[in-house]
Chains A and B, each alone.
Chain A
Amino acid sequence: SAVISQKPSRDICQRGTSLTIQCQVDSQVTMMFWYRQQPGQSLTLIATANQGSEATYESGFVIDKFPISRPNLTFSTLTVSNMSPEDSSIYLCSVAQGVRTEAFFGQGTRLTVV
């Protein structure tokens, strides 16, 4: 499986600020996704990061709040903008080679907004 490096691993941020999370994969992957996992909850898909074009967002998530970049097949960023305490969560990068293949996860970014 691909090696996925996600950083930062954790951060504590002031409300109103923005944080950019990076996801680097050691090989080219077809699919990259960003998930959120709130305390005690399961994974919620935020968006699919599309290489060279705008990300595809799930219901309840918008580009202004969660801008995503994917300049190539090995790297993506997720920005959490204008943060509020409700954004405190774990954010996870996930990759897959295709819809019938397994998805793998980065170590996650534990975000606390104060």
Chain B
Amino acid sequence: RKEVEQDPGPFNVPEGATVAFNCTYSNSASQSFFWYRQDCRKEPKLLMSVYSSGNEDGRFTAQLNRASQYISLLIRDSKLSDSATYLCAASTSGTYKYIFGTGTRLKVLA
């Protein structure tokens, strides 16, 4: 089983829709979690960190569920410019590694 798993998609949604992605992690010792956005042929860019209490940044909301070992990303009012691959990452204390999921492709359609 992969340490961090995501549904690869693609998720095709109309402009203005709300879309949610989940990401599961298998290592219960994982402590820090992040969402990254990767555009085609570009490097991943940090979208947001995921805190235990959840966090929100504009149209984006990230949540952590430790009991079920998953993190989620909610995008409200989708824009065409949100089309990208969204990667989740987990980091574990002691190993100091960042493990990435395979990414979820999102296409926002006009």
A interface list, Cβ under 8 A from B: 1, 31, 33, 35, 41-43, 45, 48, 58, 92, 94, 96, 98-108, 110
Contacts and interface: CB of A to CB of B under 8 A. Distances in A.
B43 A100 contact: no
A106 B46 contact: no
Contacts of B43: 92, 105-108
Contacts, number: 56
The 7 A-B pairs at the shortest CB distance, nearest first, are namely: A105-B43, A42-B102, A43-B100, A100-B32, A103-B98, A99-B96, A108-B43
A86 B46 CA distance: 29
B105 to A, nearest CB: 10
Interface of B: 31-32, 34, 41-46, 49, 87, 89, 91-103
18 contacts: A31-B96, A33-B98, A42-B100, A43-B100, A45-B97, A45-B98, A48-B97, A92-B43, A99-B92, A99-B94, A100-B31, A100-B32, A103-B91, A104-B46, A106-B43, A107-B42, A107-B43, A110-B41
